[in-house]
Structure 1
Amino acid sequence: MKNLKSFDVIENPRDIRKKLGLNQQEFWSQIGVTQSGGSRYESGRSMPKAVRELLRLVHVEHVNLAKVSGDDIDIAQLLKAKEPELYKALKKEVKANKAH
C-alpha cells in the first residue's frame, strides 16, 4: 500500500479494511469510530480530517497509538533536527526490518 501524507485523499476505507482482513467493528473501533459511522464512510460519506489521519496512522502506517507518547514524538523530532544522518540511517533500518 502506498505511503500517504497527512490529510491526503485515501483510497476507499473498505478496501483498506478488507486488505487487513478486519470486520467493520474491529477496523473502526481501533480509531474510535462506531461501526455504523464507519459503514457510512465506506459508503462514500466524507470523513473529517481527524478521522482520515487516524485511519492513516493506525491502518496504513500501523502505528499502535496506545504505545506512543508525546515524548516519543519529541525525541524523534529532536533526533531528526540534531542528528539527521543518524535519523536517516535508523529510518532506513526500520524500513528494512519491516520488509522481512
Structure 2
Amino acid sequence: MSNVKAIEKIEPREIRRKLGLNQQQFWSKIGVTQSGGSRYESGRNMPKPVRELLRLVHVEQVDIQRIKREDVEVIEYLRAHEPELLKTLRKSAKAKGKKAA
C-alpha cells in the first residue's frame, strides 16, 4: 500500500522525465493518449486504474504485455488458498532474480 501512496505523491511528469521518455512514449505504454496524459501531467485527477497502470509499468517496471489472465488467476488462487506457498514462491523468485542480476 505504501507504493500506491508514494505514486500519488509523485507527479507523472516527474516520473516520465526521470525515465527520459516523451509523452507519447510514456503514456502509450499504459493505453493513454498523449493528450490525455498531458492533462494528467497538468493536474487533472487521474483515475485509480490509470494510476495503478502507471505504477506497475513505469515504477515497478512490469511488462504488462507479458501478463496473461491465467497468471492472474493462479496468483488469486494461491493468495486465497495457499498463502504460505505464495510467500515461498515469491521469496524464491526474488532470490533467483538477484542471482541473475
Please tell me the TM-score bracket, short chain as reference.
Answer: 0.7 to 0.9
CA RMSD in angstroms comes to 2.5
- TM-score w.r.t. the length of structure 1 is 0.77
Equivalences, count: 98
- Structure holding more helix per residue: 2
1:55-97 Cα deviation digits (max 9, x unpaired): 1221122222221121111101212333322211222233442
Equivalent-residue separation in structure 1 for 2:3 and 2:64 (angstroms): 17
Q: Which has the higher contact order (CA 8 A, sep 6+)?
A: 1
Give structure 2 stretches of 5+ with no counterpart. Answer: none
Equivalent-residue separation in structure 2 for 1:90 and 1:61 (angstroms): 19
Provide the secondary structure at the position in 1 that maps to 2:45: coil
Equivalent-residue separation in structure 1 for 2:2 and 2:61 (angstroms): 11
Residue in 1 that maps onto 2:73: 74
1:77 aligned partner, one-letter code: E
- TM-score w.r.t. the length of structure 2 is 0.76
Give structure 1 stretches of 5+ with no counterpart. Answer: none
